[in-house]
């Protein structure tokens, strides 16, 4: 029988589960401490938890449900992990080093159905959603890797920008967020977590209505519908007007800044007139919007797209600045490894002839 990951339970869910089976609430605190603070990898190592409780947990749950299939380390300290899940599927997780800390980019689905035309991840259709346990475990696996190096380093930030559309896996996503934020566990501050969506408008509204205080990024990539539909087919179903309605609801409700992600594709969406159009689209939302420009990482499968020239990147940036739009350019990580999201996984799957299905 496949066991569920213990990491998929929030503290309250664990406490309730134990209570229903005759164990006191403090057992949940002990187990939580062993999982997230002392970070043991076996129930048997939870020394002050009584034998009956350890046996019960071992019978129903696993601490480790995935294994490292491949790890690539870049000269800038970026580590890209390819994990093999219990059902054989492969997923990617990335550890990045920044001046401000260590961030982990997690995956939320096996494959993706959004089909952005530039994306290596979206080449393989979604075969399933990840459970909250599998999303938390990615962070824990990276933390265990850091623990093993003995430098007392801790994951400080999380970006939900790996393979998949997080809002298409909403329940597991929000459960995951509650688990990693919990101050009794990993205690990653809400403001240190960013969720990125391709723009599922209804879910943006639903997200605004939760009590979660995490940052939101939206993949815009184009300032008008014609161009956006060409780059992201989701725009046909959810055009920019609908998306911006949801953005307005979110801004009004939360008063938190959002990031608009904009991938720069040479000669496609990187001209000064596109920057001007983008500034106009942002309009009076300026105080609550930051544009993050992402120089494109070419992938073999999408040879129609090239990276913008440095001149075009600077020109786009300057045009937005002149229009009083807050703008940044994303720094590259792991340029000497399979840096583009999904690249490592799609390469591995091609190598083993597993395109589109579980990599058993
Ligand atoms: S960019 Fe994100 S949403 Fe778009 S296809 Fe790739 S994984 Fe899916």
CATH code for position 287: 3.20.20.70
Is the residue at 347 inside a domain?
Answer: yes
Closest listed residue to residue 199, CA positions, set 218, 217, 215: 218
On whether residue 326 sits in a domain, the answer given is yes
Q: Which parts of 272-342 fold into alpha helices (H)? A: 272-282, 310-322
Q: Which residues line ligand 1 (CB under 6 A)?
A: 112, 114-116, 119, 121-122, 163-165, 198
pLDDT for res 354: 42
Residues 6+ apart with CB under 8 A from 114: 122, 165, 168, 198, 232, 233, 234
Lowest mean pLDDT among 48-62, 242-256, 320-334: 320-334
Which sign does the torsion angle of CA 303, 304, 310, 313 carry?
A: negative
Indicate whether 185 belongs to any domain.
yes
Whether 298 and 149 share a structural domain: yes
Instruction: Compute, in angstroms, the gap from residue 43 CA to the centroid of ligand 1.
Output: 36
In terms of domains, do 115 and 55 share one?
no
Mean pLDDT of 3-32: 96
Statement to judge: residues 75 and 141 lie in one domain: yes
Torsion 197-202-204-209 (CA) sign: negative
Per annotation, catalytic residue among 53, 92, 134, 137: 92
pLDDT tens, position by position, 256-267: 999 999 999 999
Residue 356 has pLDDT above 50, yes or no: no
The boundaries of the domain holding residue 250 are 67-351
Asked whether residue 121 is assigned to any structural domain, the reply reads: yes
CA of 24 to the centre of ligand 1 (A): 43
> The domain that contains 27 carries what CATH number?
1.10.150.530
Q: Is 357 inside any structural domain?
A: no
User: Do 268 and 147 share a domain, yes or no?
Assistant: yes
Pair (206, 309) in one structural domain:
yes
* pLDDT grade for 352, boundaries at 50, 70 and 90: low
Are residue 155 and residue 182 in the same domain, yes or no? yes
Model confidence at 241: pLDDT above 90: yes
- Please determine, for residue 338, whether its predicted confidence score (pLDDT) is greater than 90: no
The ligand 1 atom nearest the CA atom of 115: 5
92 carries an active-site annotation: yes
- Looking at the 3D structure of the chain, how many domains does it have? 2
Q: Say whether both 35 and 77 belong to one domain.
A: no
What are the tokens at 1?
A: 């029988």
350 or 26: which carries more pLDDT confidence? 26
Which residue, 13, 43, 62, sits at the end of a domain? 62
Checking if the pLDDT of 237 tops 90, the result is yes
Q: What residues form the annotated binding site?
A: 112, 116, 119, 164-165, 196, 219-221, 297
Mean model confidence pLDDT for the chain: 92
Give the pLDDT score at 124: 78
pLDDT for 299:
79
pLDDT band with cut points at 50, 70 and 90 for residue 343: low
């Amino acid at each position: 029988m496949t066991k569920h990951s213990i990491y998929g339970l929030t503290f309250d869910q664990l406490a309730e589960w134990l209570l229903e089976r005759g164990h006191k609430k403090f057992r949940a605190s002990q187990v939580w401490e062993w999982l997230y603070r002392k970070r043991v990898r076996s129930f048997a190592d939870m020394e002050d938890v009584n034998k009956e409780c350890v046996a019960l947990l071992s019978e129903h749950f696993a601490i480790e449900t995935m294994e490292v299939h491949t790890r690539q380390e870049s000269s800038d300290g970026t580590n890209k992990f390819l994990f093999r899940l219990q059902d054989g599927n492969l997923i990617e997780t990335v550890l990045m080093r920044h001046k401000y800390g260590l961030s982990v980019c997690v995956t939320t689905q096996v494959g993706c159905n959004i089909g952005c035309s530039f994306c290596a991840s979206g080449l393989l259709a979604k075969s399933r959603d990840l459970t909250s346990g599998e999303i938390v475990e990615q962070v824990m696996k990276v933390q265990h890797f850091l623990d093993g190096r003995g430098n007392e380093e801790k994951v400080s930030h999380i970006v939900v920008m790996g393979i998949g559309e997080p809002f298409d896996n909403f329940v597991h996503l929000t459960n995951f967020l509650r688990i990693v934020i919990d101050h009794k566990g990993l205690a990653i501050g809400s403001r240190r977590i960013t969720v990125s969506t391709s723009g599922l408008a209804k879910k943006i509204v639903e997200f605004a209505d939760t009590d979660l205080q995490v940052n939101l990024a939206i993949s815009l990539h184009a300032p008008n519908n014609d161009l956006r539909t060409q780059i992201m087919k989701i725009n046909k179903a959810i055009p920019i007007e609908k998306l911006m309605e949801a953005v307005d609801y979110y801004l009004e409700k939360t008063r938190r800044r959002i990031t608009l992600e904009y991938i720069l594709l040479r000669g496609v969406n990187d001209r000064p007139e596109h920057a001007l159009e983008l500034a106009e689209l942002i309009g009076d939302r300026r105080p609550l919007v930051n544009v993050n420009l992402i120089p494109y990482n070419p992938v073999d499968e999408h040879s129609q797209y090239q990276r913008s020239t440095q001149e075009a990147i600077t020109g786009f940036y300057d045009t937005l600045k002149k229009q009083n739009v807050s703008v940044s350019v994303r720094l590259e990580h792991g340029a000497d490894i399979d840096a583009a999201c999904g690249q490592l996984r799609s390469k591995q799957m091609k190598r083993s002839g597993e395109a589109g299905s579980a990599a058993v």
